[in-house]
Amino acid sequence: MPAIISPSAQHKEVLKYQFKNVEKIPTKIWEDSRDASRHIAQSIALAMRQKQQDGEMIVLGLATGSSPVKVYEELVRLHREEKLSFQNVITFNLDEYYPMMPEAQQSYVRFMREHLFDHVDIKPGNIHIPDGTVPMEEVKAYCEAYEKKIDSVGGIDIQLLGIGRTGHIGFNEPGSWENSLTRLVRLDNITRRDALKDFQKEEDVPYRAITMGIASIMKARTVYLLAWGNHKAPVVKKAVEDEISSGVPATYLQKHPNVRVILDKAAAEDLTRVKSPWLVGMCHWDDQLICQAVVWLSQTVGKPILKLTDEDYAEHGLSDLTLEHASAYSINIQVFNRLQHTITGWPGGKPNADDTYRPERAKPARKRIIIFSPHPDDDVISMGGTFLRLVEQGHDVHVAYQTSGNIAVHDHDALRFLEFMDEFYKRQGLDSEENLKRFHKIEKFIKGKQADEADIPEAREIKGLIRRGEARAGARFCGLDDKHIHFLDMPFYETGRRRKSNLSEADIQIIMDLLAKIKPHQVYAAGDLADPHDTHRVCLDAIIESFKRLQNEDWMKDCWMWLYRGAWHEWAIHEIEMAVPISPQELLKKRRAIFMHQSQKDRPPFPGEDEREFWQRAEDRNRATAHIYRELGLAEYEAMEAFARWRI
């Protein structure tokens, strides 16, 4: 039995106090970025209304990027549905790339118009965004004037901030001074790489930006710093828990008298109170937390679980955990067994076997299964070994590619396929004037394409078809026939740009239709809780919403969903509920399935910060999981794919 220790009121006080010792900025963790954003928007709206009643203006400091998007969405909704007026609002944006034309796709002027200003009744004269077109020799004077303008309207009442992976706020990169004001800055390489999501090529990302300084931000009366997704977790921990230093400019906020850090669960992942809560206070011990603590202890002292002693527990602040047990050994056994039971070579359940301690049900022996793959290659990258096993073990496996993935194909690849078609048509005598005209139009477009230009629909179609062919090849390689391969082309993805639309009814309907048609016993989906605007997250939202809507269907009662993580991040050991071992041969086969995705080999467009190819990332990750199991004292496998079960 796990030791359940409920924190008394007194303990809760201790907990709060000790968080404060570790966390140097008041920090609130929300289940979900959406609720958090709504809450912030409502606080802003309240302040706007109060000022309106007093006949005063309110000054908002605004950020761009993915973090504030949902706040703006809610403000727009409040304007439309609840008559929130922006007539008394003055805004100052934090920053703008330099140089940057206001009408360019990547400009923050355009961003703010698309997300907020075009949808509310703000007076255009009250909007201020640093101007990316000011001639170099005038930038200094321009920045001074920007700063004076903020002061002249009484300073900023509420400042919204995101945080970059470098720890920047605004574009105040590491090394920025505490007394810095609005100025021209050079962007950090990591920031430029992150910005690649909005540009085609690295060379297109500007090297500089105009940004409000640290001192300009610190003058704001209230500051909200927002961060969503586990890619932000390491820098959030530094900002909240580390000493103040110019190396992580967000740490300067620790000196602000009225600042709040607002996080979703994923961004809070590395905070001490989440990662090792026993270090900051009494815990409510449940099975999962016990597992987390024991794995942590085992890794901290460098011993397998079954060798941990009472002294190890006591010396590492875990004597609480041993209180209700005769000795540490029974906890060791409990956690060891739990981990042992996650391992199965039968991801679809082992027929005719006792399944009491197995992750999956034995019955029905042959399951109907849908593997949802957000992009056309996530299935093989993230769960290729399990995919192969499910097919080999005789299940009725379907794969559903949720989006076309067309954005991630190089122009030169699209051209190659276009020329192939062109020549083939000519050789086959199919080169009608109409066809040739069409080919030429696309060819002319691709050859003359500008850096920030979105693809015309025909070019997107070719790119989508290239990825379709690759996905089909990968799924066939894993043993599926064409009737079991589904292309969903979810509409939210089809913007032709990195930035996608919001999830719509049409998207959800597509998923519901497939679920209702197949009536699966098992569903696999990408469970990334990263950036809320990531394709993976939206794809998962669509599946979860479909599950909720279909929950009363009979077949749904027998349907389990397993979540795999994308190419970048693995589940923490205590979160894993099914670990599927992969033999050396299977790993090689998985690699070959990933190789079917030729357009993604070497260096795809928008590669992100990781230099490794997808097959390398997948193998490193699967080997790392097996290694951790081994270090904890479990069996040694070549590699492992990990899953967590989602419950409604």
Q: Is 618 exposed, middle or buried (0-12, 13-18, 19+ CB in 10 A)?
A: buried
**Residue bearing tokens 């499910």:** 390
Between residues 162 and 348, which has the closer beta carbon with respect to ligand F6R?
162
Nearer to ligand F6R, 169 or 380 (CB): 169
44 CB contacts (<8 Å, ≥6 apart)?
Answer: 60, 71, 75, 158
- Closest to 363 in 3D by CA, of 398, 395, 399, 386: 395
Nearest to ligand F6R of 169, 578 (CB atom): 169
CA distances, 371 to each of 349, 389, 441 (Å):
16, 13, 37
Residues near ligand F6R (CB under 6 A) are 63-67, 94-95, 162-164, 168-171
Q: How far is the CB of 232 from ligand F6R (least distance, A)?
A: 7
Shortest distance, position 231 Cβ to ligand F6R, whole Å: 8
Burial class from Cβ neighbours inside 10 Å (0-12, 13-18, 19+) for residue 324 reads middle
**Based on CB atoms, which residue is closest to ligand F6R, 110 or 395?**
110
Q: How far is the CB of 235 from ligand F6R (least distance, A)?
A: 10
Dihedral of alpha carbons 545, 548, 552, 557, sign: positive
- Concerning whether 613 is annotated as a catalytic residue, the answer is no
CB of 251 to ligand F6R, least distance (A): 15
Q: Which is nearer to ligand F6R, 225 or 559 (CB)?
A: 225
> How large is the angle between the packed helices 614-631 and 287-301, nearest 10 degrees?
90
Q: Which helix (H) or strand (E) holds 641?
A: strand 639-646
CA distance 341 to 343: 5
Distance in angstroms (rounded) separating the CA atoms of residues 648 and 638: 33
Do the beta carbons of residue 526 and residue 539 sit within 8 Å? yes
Which residue among 147, 173, 470, 619 is the active-site one? Answer: 173
The label of the residue with tokens 């969405």 reads 73
Q: What share of the chain is helix, strand, coil (3-state, %, to 5)?
A: 50, 15, 40
Which of residues 159 and 404 has its CB atom nearest to ligand F6R in the complex?
159
Nearest distance from residue 455's CB to ligand F6R, in Å?
A: 23
In the complex with ligand F6R, the residue whose CB is nearer, 163 or 559, is 163
CA distances from 540 to 251, 372, 399, 533, 544 (A): 33, 9, 15, 12, 6
Q: To the nearest whole angstrom, how small is the minimum distance from the Cβ of residue 98 to ligand F6R?
A: 13
Q: How far is CA 77 from CA 64, 83, 114, 185, 573, in A?
A: 18, 9, 14, 35, 40
Tokens coding 428: 């086959």
* CB of 446 closer than 8 Å to CB of 414: yes
- Number of helices (H) and strands (E), helices first, in the chain? 21, 17
- Give min distance, CB of 414 to ligand F6R, in A: 28
Nearest-CB residue to ligand F6R? 162
Q: How far apart are CA 391 and CA 348, in angstroms?
A: 10
Smallest distance, Å, CB 375 to ligand F6R? 20
């140089």: which residue's tokens? Answer: 99
CA distances from 482 to 20, 399, 409, 517, 523 (A): 57, 10, 23, 16, 19
- Rounded to a whole number of angstroms, the minimum distance from the CB of residue 229 to ligand F6R is 8
> Which of these, 40, 76, 84, lies nearest to 502 by C-alpha position?
76
Q: Name the residue nearer to ligand F6R (CB basis): 29 or 485.
A: 29
Residue among 205 and 339 whose Cβ is closer to ligand F6R: 205
- Distance of alpha carbon 365 from alpha carbon 603, whole angstroms: 41
Q: Which residues are catalytic?
A: 173
